Each structure stands twice: as C-alpha cells, then as structure tokens.
C-alpha cells in the first residue's frame, strides 16, 4: 500500500473486524484495507458494500487523486542512497522536471542546516564536500600534502560517516557526493575510492553515493581516458561518477579559472557524444557537467552570459546520433549556480539538468545569520561579565557557540529552502 494511503487511514485498522475487507481502487493502485464500512463512510463518503466469499468487501474508486511522492513512487529509503536508487532519483527528476541542490558542506553545522531545509521542504538533497571543505572538516591542524592529501581524505571519510549516521533521522533521501577533483587532487580521489571499496566489501554499498572528476583543464582525450579508468573501478560498486567537460570559470576552493578564454566555457555537442559513447557500455551511473558559460562565484549582473539552451542542443544531438527514442538521454549538472536567474535554472532543468551546485550563496547566507547576531548583541559580546543590564550580569548565554552558530544555520537553511523551491524540488517527497 502506498505510504500516502497508510497515513490516510492511520490507526483505524485496529478497530476492524477480521471479517471486513475493503478494496480501494486508485488510478495507479488497487489494494485491500481491513476497515469497517462505517469508518470508510466517515472518511470517504458513502460506499457500496457487496458480498465476496464470506467477508464483507467494499470496493470503491478514489475520485480524489492520491499524491504520489518520490518515497512512494520510487520506494526510496530515508538516509544516504546508492546505486539504483540514485539512478531512479535522477531519472525521475529528469522526467518530472526538477533538479536537486548540491550543497557544499564543511562542518556538522552546515550539514544540519541543509538537512533541516530538505526535511521541512519535503525534498531530497545532495550533500557534497570539496577537497578544501573535506580538509577543513578534518581540521586545519592536520597535514594535507599534495602527494597524499591526508587531511582531505580523512575529512571526507569523517564527513561521510557523520552524514550516513545522522541523515536517516531527517526522513529524506540524501545523495552523498564529493565535488571538483582536478588532476592535481587525484590522490584525494584515490584515497576515497579505496575506502569505498573497503566499505563495499563489508556492507554491500560504497561509503559515498558518488564522486566528481573535474579534468576539464586537460585535453578532451585525457579527460575521457582518465574518467573511463575510474568509472571501471566504480561500476562494480554501482557508484555514480560526475565528470566535467568545458571549464567552469571563476575561482572556487583553490581552483582558479578566472583567466581562461571565454570559448573554453562552452562545451561542444561532439564532446558530449564522445563521452556518452565512452561511458555507456561501462556503467549507467554517470552525469556530465557541461559548460554553457558557467562561472563560480557571484558577479555583477551582465558579467556572466549563460546559455542553458545549449544543453537542449546537446540532448538532441546525442538522441539523433544514437537513434534514441528518449528526448533527454543525458544527465546534466549545472555548476556555478549561485546568483543565476530563475529563468536560467528552469531552462537548464527543462533540458535534463538534475543537479545544481550552490555554494557561494550559501556561504553568504550562513555568514549573515552570525553577522547579524553579533551586530545586534555586540554589547553582550565584549566581555564575559557586564552588559547594558548591569555591570555584574554574565554574558555566557550570548556567547555560547551553540547560540550564534545556530543563527548561521537558520539563515543558511532559509537559503537552501529558496533553492529547493527555485529548482522545483520542494514537495517532491
């Protein structure tokens, strides 16, 4: 029985005679409910009973459609999801027309803000760590050499275990992802993938739902060749790979593409086809972050020219060349989402974008809550004792980190909720 119907009938079944049987017919479902007719009359209005064997059976059609969300329709569990569940979620998003925000998290506090927003918006969420964010999660005092990326690996693994442990409590599906991994950061990727393989042997799933390789600064041939090598390792784990083709401009987490030629920001349809052909026989679990003018960060209006309509041309080209019946065979990812217009988001989503990265706007949102708290309470934060209420009054309740950090969580949560609405994700559960 769909969860929506379970919620509808609640605990009424406990009052039923074991000789009562109710058949509910819905546009997509037909199932039996053990409820007495008098209670059904109360809930649904008059119904007509008829004889069926030795039981009283009531058969009726629900004229009001039952809303089927992702949890019902795809049977997704709460908590971190993997493999076919990730594939089903992205297929559903592409078909229905929504995208899932990918939130860069750097601490348990930012994790909580994103999870709360998704839970209260009845939506799935993607939580991801960048290499720098993962190192921060581990602690800035841990060595992070370019050869081994010790802090980045340890921090990503720690974040993954924390998210896996806490996500089920929020009752929503969560995709656990890692963000941009450039060629110079491959030791970080290697460390995480080794942990995925160990975890898979013990638990039957990888530790992370998915990873991203960003080799867009390399040649198309090297980019694809490297991704293929890693995808072959990830395929037995049913682990998702996101790759980037076409550079995302601007700067994020130490990766600076602010000086690249403008033409490099736009991916060509032939490149998308080449990637699709290289990946499709290895695994169905992949997506492409194609460039359509994307830039990391927030800039003055008019400085960034996005052309999400190009994604539609890429889809049409792949469909035509491979003789697909599916209009949108490719899963696309929107990078550099902060500060973009609603029309750009919706155009991109209409052409198969299922994931939108949002970081800069959320960093700013988190800050504003803490900034405003400090500004409004500055006279309570200058000393441990003494404030406008009296020279001997303690200020501990004002400077306790749980108070002012929570204010950052609240404002970040509100911005994630805005993204969930903008990307049409809210209410999909």
Q: Is 338 annotated as a binding residue?
A: yes
Q: Is 26 annotated as a binding residue?
A: no
Q: Is 358 annotated as a binding residue?
A: yes
| Residue from 72, 144, 179, 271 carrying the catalytic annotation | 179
Strand order in the sheet with 55-61: 30-33, 20-25, 55-61, 49-52
CB-based contacts of 400: which residues, under 8 Å, 6+ apart? none
Q: Is 180 annotated as a binding residue?
A: yes
Q: Is 75 annotated as a binding residue?
A: no
Q: 125 forms bridges with which residues in the sheet? A: 174
Residues composing the chain: 429
CA dihedral of 30, 33, 35, 37, whole degrees rounded to 10: 20
Q: Is 129 annotated as a binding residue?
A: no
- The verdict on whether 65 is a catalytic residue reads no
Q: Is 214 annotated as a binding residue?
A: yes
Q: Is 120 annotated as a binding residue?
A: no
Q: Is 330 annotated as a binding residue?
A: no
User: What's the longest Cα–Cα distance across the chain?
Assistant: 83
Q: Is 335 annotated as a binding residue?
A: yes
Q: Is 296 annotated as a binding residue?
A: yes
The crossing angle, in degrees rounded to 10, of helices 309-322 and 269-279 is 50
Q: Is 244 annotated as a binding residue?
A: yes
Q: Is 337 annotated as a binding residue?
A: yes
* Distance between CA atoms of residues 197 and 285, nearest Å: 17
**What does each C-alpha distance from 250 to 12, 262, 298 come to in angstroms?**
58, 11, 9
Q: Which residues are annotated as a binding site for Zn(2+)?
A: 180, 214, 244, 296, 335
Task: Give catalytic residue positions.
Answer: 179
Q: Which residues are annotated as a binding site?
A: 180, 214, 244, 296-297, 335-338, 357-360
Q: Which residues are annotated as a binding site for dihydroxyacetone phosphate?
A: 297, 336-338, 357-360
């Amino acid at each position: 029985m769909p969860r929506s119907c379970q919620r509808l009938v609640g605990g009424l079944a406990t009052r039923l005679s074991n000789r009562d049987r109710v058949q509910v017919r819905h546009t997509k479902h037909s199932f039996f409910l053990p409820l007495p007719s008098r209670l059904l009359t109360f809930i649904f209005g008059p119904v007509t009973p008829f004889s069926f064997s030795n039981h009283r059976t009531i058969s009726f059609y629900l004229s009001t459609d039952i809303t089927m969300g992702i949890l019902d329709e795809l049977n997704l569990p709460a908590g971190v999801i993997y493999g076919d569940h990730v594939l089903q979620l992205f297929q559903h998003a592409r078909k229905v027309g929504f995208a899932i925000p990918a939130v860069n998290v750097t601490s348990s506090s930012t994790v909580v803000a994103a999870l709360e927003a998704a839970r209260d918006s009845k939506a799935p969420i993607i939580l991801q760590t960048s290499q720098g964010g993962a190192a921060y999660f581990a602690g800035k005092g841990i060595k992070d050499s370019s050869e081994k990326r010790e802090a980045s690996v340890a921090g990503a693994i720690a974040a993954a275990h924390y998210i896996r442990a806490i996500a089920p409590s929020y009752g929503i599906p969560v995709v656990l992802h890692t963000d941009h991994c450039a060629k110079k950061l491959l030791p970080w990727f290697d460390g995480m993938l080794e942990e995925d393989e160990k975890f898979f042997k013990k638990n039957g799933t990888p530790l992370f739902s998915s990873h991203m390789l960003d080799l867009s600064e390399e040649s198309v041939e090297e980019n694809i060749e490297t991704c293929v090598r890693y995808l072959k390792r990830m395929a037995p784990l049913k682990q998702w790979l996101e790759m980037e083709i076409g550079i995302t401009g601007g700067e994020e987490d130490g990766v600076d593409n602010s000086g690249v030629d403008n033409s490099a920001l736009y991916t060509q349809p032939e490149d998308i086809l080449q990637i699709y052909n290289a990946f499709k026989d290895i695994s169905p679990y992949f997506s492409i972050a194609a460039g359509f003018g994307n830039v990391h960060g927030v800039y003055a209006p008019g400085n960034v020219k996005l052309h999400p309509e190009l994604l539609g041309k890429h889809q049409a080209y792949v469909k035509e060349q491979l003789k697909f019946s599916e209009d949108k065979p490719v899963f696309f990812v929107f990078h550099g989402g902060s500060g973009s217009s609603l029309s750009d988001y919706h155009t991109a989503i209409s052409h198969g974008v299922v994931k939108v990265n949002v970081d800069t706007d959320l960093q700013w949102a988190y800050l504003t809550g803490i900034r405003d708290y400090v500004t409004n309470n500055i006279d309570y934060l200058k000393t441990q004792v003494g404030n406008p209420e009296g020279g001997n009054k303690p200020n501990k309740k004002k400077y306790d980190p749980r108070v002012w950090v929570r204010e950052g969580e609240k404002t970040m949560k509100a911005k994630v909720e805005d993204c969930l609405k903008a990307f049409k994700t809210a209410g999909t559960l």
